[in-house]
Amino acid sequence: MRKALPSKLAFGIFDHLDEDGGDIARQYADRLSLAEACDRLGFYAYHLAEHHCSPHGRGPSPNLFLSSVAQRTRQLRLGPLTMLLSLCHPLRAFEEICMLDHLSGGRVELGIGRGSLPIELGYFGIDADAAQERYLEASEILMEAMRGGTLSYRGQHFELNNVPLTLRPHQRPHPLTWIATNRAESARWAAANGANIACVGPAPVVRKITNAYRSEKERNTDTNNQASFLGLLRMIVVGQSANHAYSLAAPAFERWLKSFKFLYDLNAIPVPPNLPLSFDAAIESELCVVGTADFVRRALLDQLEEAGANYLLCQIAFGDLPLDASLNTAMSLQSELMDRVS
């Protein structure tokens, strides 16, 4: 017997904008077309990762690409997941987010993070040992700036003295914030600070993270009345048959994996231990959910329930998947899932 799903179930799009083997301008155009379709279909938000010096991310400046998404959509919310605060001055990050929030009419969802691969930070002269402290200081400054007024801060990495904040975000008091995490400790911090979380991994593993989040939120009277998103990320391909779906997804995943591993292989760095190194392993680990519309619907509902998640981050464009395949998956998710649980 199926247990009750979380009271709020929503669906968003997650994207690395990883290299598809073709012209970059055409890929940008395809993604904008996909964003338009997801807007019409009623997806909640489009989240874009930030990567540098790697085919794993052709969107190294997420806010720049998202400003185009904002102009091509009407209801779809949007934001970086995550904006690497270790790499930029927090005052500049604040001003960019304010601009994007106004350009989108108040649709920004702000994901912030340190960055998962130190070598990317190193190309910008950021030492791996300093990255965490830079991120913590930058996040404090960013959230303080959202309150408006005059900004002063003195830390190890940043110093601001009576900075006049002439911009404010469109949303009050500020856009919803997100962190990507696979750690219970970070989930508890997010719950205590009113942030949403995005997780990846097998459902039983993610359940430990969502349990930690809910437990902390119950203890925190300042945030327990706020609606929260507990996100579960899945790479999804829906086909006319199981074989058709596999024929699309398998080569696309292999290209995505090659892009993911690019900087690891180039610098002889061990890949993350939880990274599936084949398409079969990606299916086994639940990173990929592939098959007919009915199979995908049942698998995703089961995984959402087991993970204790209420927000499905759908990665429907990756590797060299054709635009038509991504559009078909989006439409199937809308008809098979979104319409049925709304």
Q: What long-range pairs does 23-29 form, CB within 8 A, spacing at least 24? A: 24/58, 27/58, 28/58, 28/65, 28/68
Phi and psi at residue 155, to the nearest 5°: -140, -170
Task: Annotate 81-145 with three-state secondary structure.
Answer: CCEECCCCCHHHHHHHHHHHHHHCCCCEEEEEECCCCHHHHHCCCCCHHHHHHHHHHHHHHHHHH
The answer to whether the beta carbons of residues 309 and 232 sit under 8 Å apart is yes
154 pLDDT more than 50: yes
The mean of the pLDDT values for the chain is 94
223 pLDDT more than 70: no
Going from N- to C-terminal start, the domains of the chain cover: 10-341
1 pLDDT more than 50: no
* Tens-digit pLDDT profile for residues 18-35: 999 999 999 999 999 999
Tokens of residue 127, six digits:
């030492």
The β-bridge partners of 150 are: 164
Q: How many CB atoms lie within 10 A of CB 227?
A: 10
* Tens-digit pLDDT profile for residues 105-150: 999 999 999 988 999 999 999 998 899 999 999 999 999 999 999 9
pLDDT, mean of residues 196-224: 92
Tokens of residue 281, six digits:
């392993």
What is the model's pLDDT at position 220? 79
What is the model's pLDDT at position 339? 86
* Tens-digit pLDDT profile for residues 229-272: 999 999 999 999 999 999 999 999 999 999 999 999 999 999 99
Closest by CA to 311, choosing from 7, 80, 88, is 7
What is the model's pLDDT at position 3? 35
Distance of alpha carbon 295 from alpha carbon 302, whole angstroms: 11
CATH class of segment(s) 10-341: alpha beta
Report residue 316's pLDDT band, with 50, 70 and 90 as the boundaries: very high
What is the model's pLDDT at position 341? 80
| Residue 215: Cβ-neighbour burial (10 angstroms; 0-12, 13-18, 19+) | middle
Tokens of residue 195, six digits:
């942030």
Closest by CA to 254, choosing from 219, 288, 229, 205, is 288
